[in-house]
Amino acid sequence: MKKDIATPARTKEILAKHRFQLKKSLGQNFLIDLNILNGIVEASGFTEEDGVIEIGPGIGALTEQLAKKAKKVVAFEIDDRLLPILEDTLSPYPNVEVIHQDVLKADLTDIITTKLNDTEHIHVVANLPYYVTTPILMKLLEDRLPLKSITVMIQAEVADRIAASPSTKEYGALSIAAQYYSDAKKRLHVPASVFVPAPRVDSAVLKLTIREKPLVHVTDEAWFFKVFHACFANRRKTIINNLVHNLVGKENKALAQQGLERATIDPMRRGETLSIEEFAALSNELDQLLNESH
């Protein structure tokens, strides 16, 4: 049995054997710490009856640990230069399938139906490239996939933003979007030193447990997203100013004020002080008022 991939010596050996040159543009940093990998697997909480989707397997360090415990692993890799390496490193694991595709362009519903239909629950577990963290997470959440959880290693600062509470400097549109669909908890701090090459910032493992239904009821989901994004567009501005400048226009200022009044929100507050429940109330009131005025 080959030694685990996630050690400094084995990672070096694999990269040298395949003469692999890292691409900065793809955010390639390979994990060389088994304890961290085991921590990610443990945090995700999947069982041997479950299926796992991985994004950006690299040379297979995390994939290998997932394959040892999951029923099936489907991994998306965008870099075709890594495909022969993965074929080599993952050859002992017949329960892994690598798909050469950008996950942002993939039909994940179809992949789940065709490739993971014999698994009990489906989880996403991944060490995400920093530069596409937000679009990938939002796609996974907004596509309403039948997922039980998403456990990802991401930039520590982004993990703080996603798991943030109101009235903190980290709290923003990303916090609300993620918490609307899931319960977000930071699970592990990961120092830059456990990667090759070491990134400039530390990482964190974040677990999103998918809610059976969104945290709050909104009459129009797309509108709700527009409302809170508008309220965070300029953090120094009051809610009323942000709504007027970024959403409803000056001609609808009175209507925006009425919506805030109905939702019992002081128009002089700033976006980061509002809870997700307050944003939902505001969105629903504005939605009703705008429909009535047309």
Q: How far apart are CA 153 and CA 102, in angstroms?
A: 18
Tell which residue, 202, 158, 211, 206, has the closest CA to residue 181.
Answer: 211
Q: How far apart are CA 7 and CA 195, in angstroms?
A: 10
Strand 51-55 relative to strand 30-31, pairing:
unpaired
Q: Which residues pair with 270 in a beta bridge?
A: 238
* pLDDT at residue number 22: 74
Average pLDDT, the chain: 93
Cβ atoms 214, 279 nearer than 8 A: no
Q: How far apart are CA 30 and CA 195, in angstroms?
A: 5
Annotated binding-site residue? 241: no
**pLDDT at position 3 over 90:** no
Any idea what the Cα angle at residue 57 is, between residues 154 and 69, rounded to 5°? 95
Q: Which residues does 105 contact at the CB level (< 8 Å), separation at least 6? A: none
Annotated binding-site residue? 102: yes
* pLDDT at residue number 186: 95
Task: List the alpha helices (DSSP H) in the chain.
Answer: 8-17, 34-44, 61-69, 83-89, 108-115, 133-142, 156-162, 173-181, 221-231, 239-243, 253-262, 276-293
Annotated binding-site residue? 234: no
- State the DSSP code for 286: H
Q: How far apart are CA 65 and CA 73, in angstroms?
A: 10
What does the pLDDT look like over 187-227, one tens digit per residue?
A: 999 999 998 888 889 999 999 999 999 999 999 999 999 99
**pLDDT at position 102 over 80:** yes
Tell which residue, 207, 196, 22, has the closest CA to residue 123.
Answer: 207
* pLDDT at residue number 27: 63
**pLDDT at position 1 over 60:** no
What does the pLDDT look like over 4-19, one tens digit per residue?
A: 999 999 999 998 999 9
Annotated binding-site residue? 77: yes
What does the pLDDT look like over 24-61, one tens digit per residue?
A: 666 678 889 999 999 999 999 999 999 999 999 999 99
* pLDDT at residue number 187: 95
* pLDDT at residue number 2: 67
* pLDDT at residue number 26: 63
pTM value is 0.91
Cβ atoms 55, 33 nearer than 8 A: no
When pLDDT is averaged across residues 257-284 and rounded to a whole number, the result is 97
What does the pLDDT look like over 230-244, one tens digit per residue?
A: 999 998 999 999 999
Cβ atoms 104, 139 nearer than 8 A: yes
* pLDDT at residue number 129: 84
User: What's the number of CA atoms in the CB half-sphere (13 Å) around residue 253?
Assistant: 7
When pLDDT is averaged across residues 111-138 and rounded to a whole number, the result is 94
Q: How far apart are CA 90 and CA 4, in angstroms?
A: 11
User: 284 or 200: which carries more pLDDT confidence?
Assistant: 284
Domains and their CATH numbers in the chain: 8-210 (3.40.50.150), 221-293 (1.10.8.100)
Q: What are phi and psi of 238, to 5 degrees?
A: -75, 165
What does the pLDDT look like over 131-178, one tens digit per residue?
A: 889 999 999 998 989 999 999 999 999 999 999 999 999 999 999 999
Cβ atoms 150, 137 nearer than 8 A: yes
When pLDDT is averaged across residues 85-110 and rounded to a whole number, the result is 96
Annotated binding-site residue? 56: yes
* pLDDT at residue number 294: 73
* pLDDT at residue number 34: 94
Location of structure tokens 């409302």: 227
When pLDDT is averaged across residues 245-255 and rounded to a whole number, the result is 93
Question: To the nearest whole percent, how much of the chain has pLDDT over 70?
Answer: 98
Tell which residue, 173, 274, 277, 259, has the closest CA to residue 218.
Answer: 277
> And the tokens for 259?
């919506």
**pLDDT at position 273 over 70:** yes
Burial of 251 (0-12, 13-18, 19+ CB in 10 A): exposed
Annotated binding-site residue? 38: no
